[in-house]
């Protein structure tokens, strides 16, 4: 220990009898907290609502940035609305990893008819190269494939992907 000032105003609280944390069971309490932050669960007892809500929103912003790195054209196509668009989709939905999160969001925007052209081209290229069932990790396609999304058409042959038709602007 270096430094020499023991008179720090720490926020000490009295341990519960027997050294047990009141409520005990760290695993269950951690699961409750994660559920509140990312899966729409209730605020666990004793936590301050405003800071936990701020943390929930911060997690969504962080995820939005991570997904944008995996889906740069999708995020660029959505533009300034990206953080809000992503947060609106991701709130209450735990992450399956940035690749799958972006994929699921792109498909939902496609189904809603709001996928921007850049995002459509990125989605078509990904779907031509990779098989993704929406439930498990995407896997590279071994056979040639053609994929369409939002008017964009991409083809894959021996692992090489070409955009055959851009999405209409």
Q: Which is nearer to another protein, 32 or 85 (CB)?
A: 32
Please, which of residues 91-130 interact with another protein by CB under 8 A?
94-97
Q: Which stretch binds another protein (CB under 8 A): 37-45, 78-86, 118-126, 142-150?
A: 37-45
Query: 98: burial class by Cβ within 10 Å (0-12, 13-18, 19+)?
Result: middle
Please, which of residues 45-74 interact with another protein by CB under 8 A?
45-48, 51-52, 54-55, 57-59, 62-63, 65-66
Name the CA dihedral angle for 152, 157, 158, 161, rounded to a multiple of 10 degrees. Answer: -30
Q: Which stretch binds another protein (CB under 8 A): 30-38, 76-84, 133-141, 144-152?
A: 30-38
Order the strands of the 152-157 sheet from edge to edge: 145-149, 152-157, 160-165
Joined together, the tokens standing for residue 63 give 């995820």
Taking the C-alpha atoms of residue 121 and residue 123, their distance in angstroms, rounded to an integer, is 5
CA distance to 13, 21, 64, per residue, from 17 (Å): 12, 9, 44
Q: Which is nearer to another protein, 85 or 154 (CB)?
A: 85
Which residue ranges make up the site for another protein (CB under 8 A)? 1-6, 8-13, 15-16, 19-31, 33-35, 37-39, 45-48, 51-52, 54-55, 57-59, 62-63, 65-66, 94-97
């Amino acid at each position: 220990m270096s430094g020499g000032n023991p008179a720090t105003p720490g926020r000490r609280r009295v341990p519960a009898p027997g050294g047990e944390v009141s409520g005990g069971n760290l695993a269950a309490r951690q699961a409750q907290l994660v559920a509140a932050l990312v899966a729409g669960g209730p605020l666990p007892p004793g936590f301050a609502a405003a800071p936990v809500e701020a943390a929930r929103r911060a997690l969504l912003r962080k995820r939005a940035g991570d997904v944008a790195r995996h889906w740069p054209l999708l995020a660029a196509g959505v533009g300034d609305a990206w953080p809000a668009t992503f947060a609106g989709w991701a709130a209450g939905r735990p992450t399956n990893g940035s690749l799958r999160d972006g994929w699921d969001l792109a498909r939902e925007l496609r189904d809603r008819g709001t996928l921007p052209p850049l995002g459509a081209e990125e989605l078509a290229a990904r779907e031509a190269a990779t098989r993704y069932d929406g439930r498990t990790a995407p896997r590279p396609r071994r056979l040639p494939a053609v994929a369409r999304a939002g008017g964009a058409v991409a083809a894959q042959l021996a692992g090489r992907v070409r955009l055959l038709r851009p999405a209409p602007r």
